[in-house]
Amino acid sequence: MARLSKEERKISIMTKALELFSTEGFYQTTMPSIAEKIGMSVGNLYNYFTSKEMLAKDLILYIANILGEEIRKINESPLSTKEKIDAIVHMYFKIAQERPETIEYFLRVYLSNREVFQNCCEGMICVSAFVTELMIFFEEGVRCGDLRDQDFFSAFGLFMGYLGGMVFLNGEKILPKSLESYELSISDNIYHALKSR
């Protein structure tokens, strides 16, 4: 088997760390526990990430890039604005189902422990790839007349707050039905809330 490059090895470490962070929380997860899960020495782990905070920062960048890349594909597709909303909701819930640790990390580590990120991820820097694509989605939706012109964060909060909230409820096992069964009604709700009158 070919030897992993340093970058591939970093991603492999991040994938394992993600599972720990999203289930145990930021403070319960330690560099030794991450090293143990991966099966490498703590000293070697520090060769890849100089601190737990730097690892946490790289993880949010990694997740924002995954989500951003998915939304970019949707933005660049010939879909209508309504169909793009459907596609974004579907993509988000699919990732939440198939790779729950990514959304869990976003909600339970990044958003819940802002003090960890304040010195290396000011404002939206570390989630720029994701937020930029939503900016483009909203801007194009308004430009073509499908969406109502309003403050970006009002629309952003409505869209992503809604999706994040549903994934959170699902994670808490509060939802009576499966996440995907809500897709259609949620994307309809988002479209009706945002569409031009």
Partner 1 sequence: MPSNPAKLKIIWLQGITCNGNTHSFLNDPSLGRLLESVEFIHHPLLACTLNLSELVEHLPASDILIIEGSYKADFERAYRRMDSVLPALAAKAEHIVSLGSCASFGGIFKEADPERISGIVFDREKALGPLAEMMPKVITLSGCPVHPKWLTFVIDMIRAGKAISVDEFRRPKELYAYLVHNGCLRNEYFEWKVDSDRFGTKEGCLFYAQGCQAPFTHGSCNKILWNEVSSKTRSGTPCFGCTEPSFPKRELFSTKTYMSIPAEVPLGVPKRSYLALTGAAKSFHIKRLEERLIDDNA
Residues lying near partner 1 in the complex (CB under 8 A) are found at: 122-125, 128-129, 131-133, 135-136, 138-143, 147, 149-153, 155
Contact 60, 122 (CB under 8 A): no
Find all residues with CB under 8 Å of 139, minimum gap 6, and list them.
none
Of 122 and 172, which CB lies nearer to partner 1 in the complex structure?
122
Residue 117 CB, shortest distance to partner 1, in Å, is 11
Using a 10 angstrom Cβ sphere, with 0-12 exposed, 13-18 middle and 19 or more buried, the burial of residue 127 is: buried
How far is the C-alpha of 191 from the C-alpha of 179, rounded, in Å? 18
Of 80 and 150, which CB lies nearer to partner 1 in the complex structure?
150
How far is the C-alpha of 151 from the C-alpha of 131, rounded, in Å? 14
Give the phi and the psi of residue 170 in degrees, each rounded to 5: -65, -45
Of 19 and 139, which CB lies nearer to partner 1 in the complex structure?
139
Residue 121 CB, shortest distance to partner 1, in Å, is 8
Residue 140 CB, shortest distance to partner 1, in Å, is 8
Residue 82 CB, shortest distance to partner 1, in Å, is 16
Residue 147 CB, shortest distance to partner 1, in Å, is 7
Of 48 and 117, which CB lies nearer to partner 1 in the complex structure?
117
- DSSP per-residue letters across 110-143: ITT-HHHHTTTS-TTGGGHHHHHHHHHHHHHHHH
Q: Is 195 helix (H, G, I), strand (E, B) or coil?
A: strand
Of 41 and 118, which CB lies nearer to partner 1 in the complex structure?
118
